[in-house]
């Protein structure tokens, strides 16, 4: 399990907002590493729209990380289920 936790730190997951305006990158543990905003988006959008895109992209990256970590846990401990299931 310790190996799996260390592995989570080296993995990178990307997620984008529905509009494609923002893209986030996080580790397998969900730590945000990078947040990209499409060129020109800040000049052409309202701030509340950009903030929604930022949140969506971070959530998408973290969701991808969570799914991958869940799959890895299943490999290490067959029959393991999360509380959400």
pLDDT tens digits for range 1-50: 677 667 777 899 999 999 999 999 999 889 999 999 998 888 876 777 88
Which pLDDT band, with edges at 50, 70 and 90, does 83 fall under? low
Token pair listed for 65: 């990380």
Q: Which residues, other chains included, contact 81 with Cβ-Cβ below 8 Å and sequence gap of 6+?
A: none
32-37 and 22-27 strand pairing: antiparallel
Q: What's the predicted TM-score (pTM) here?
A: 0.78
Q: Sheet harboring 32-37: ordered strands across?
A: 12-16, 22-27, 32-37
- 45 contacts 21 by C-beta, under 8 angstroms: yes
């Amino acid at each position: 399990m310790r190996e799996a936790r260390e592995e989570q730190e080296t993995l990178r997951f990307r997620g984008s907002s529905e509009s494609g305006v923002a893209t986030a990158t996080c580790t397998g543990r969900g730590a945000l590493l990078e947040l990209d905003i499409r060129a020109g988006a800040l000049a052409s959008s309202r701030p509340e729209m950009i903030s929604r895109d930022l949140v969506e992209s971070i959530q998408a990256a973290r969701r991808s990380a969570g799914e991958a970590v869940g799959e890895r846990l299943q490999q290490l401990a067959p029959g393991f289920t999360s509380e959400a299931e």
